[in-house]
Amino acid sequence: MKVFAITLSICIAAGIALSLFIRLRPVTVADVPALPGAEPPGDYELAGGYYAVRPVEAVDVRTLLHRISVTERTQRLSETQEKLPAVFVHRTEFFGFPDLTQVWAENGNLYVYGHLVYGYSDLDSNRERIQLWLSSSERR
């Protein structure tokens, strides 16, 4: 019984330490993954993320960047407010797990790429976020 209690205590302490590391460790530009390859307009599910491509004229880029920047628990990593590429960090409410979003324009298309920093699954949070931003930023 004593060995079980010690093992359980060690596991709990390790879980708390890992949670604190993930919550408190700053996310920097060095954590930003490489951009995925250019794709035609559409939506793409990726392991640990989501990738949306739209014709640049179909999206109000300023509105999109504003919507992203006012999302709760979001911080912009890239230095300029108006220029692309733009890089943002979002943290989950409870654990503070970080996700990264990159926005850039290339060859007449606007690319929005959301990806987790730690783990293997984002539980579709990047897809949901990106679809919400794009739907509220479409030009009509």
Express each pLDDT in 1-59 by its tens digit: 888 889 989 999 888 888 777 777 888 777 777 788 788 999 999 888 999 999 999 99
CB neighbour list of residue 31: distance below 8 Å, 6 or more residues apart: 98, 100, 117
Q: Which long-range contacts (CB under 8 A, 24 or more apart) does 120-125 make?
A: 120/47, 120/48, 121/48, 122/48, 122/49, 122/50, 124/50, 125/92, 125/99
**Mind listing the pLDDT tens digit for each residue in 119-134?**
888 889 999 999 999 9
Identity of the residue numbered 13: A
Q: What is the 3-state secondary structure (H, E, C) of the chain?
A: CHHHHHHHHHHHHHHHHHHHHHHHCCCCHHHCCCCCCCCCCEEEEECCEEEEEEEHHHECHHHHHHHHHCCCCEEECCCCCCCCCEEEEEECCCCCCEEEEEEEEECCEEEEEEEECCCCCCCCHHHHHHHHHHHCCECC
CB 39 within 8 A of CB 110: no
Q: Where are the domains of the chain?
A: 2-135
CATH (one of 2.60.40, 1.10.3470, 3.30.310, 1.10.10) for 2-135: 3.30.310
**pLDDT value at residue 34:** 78
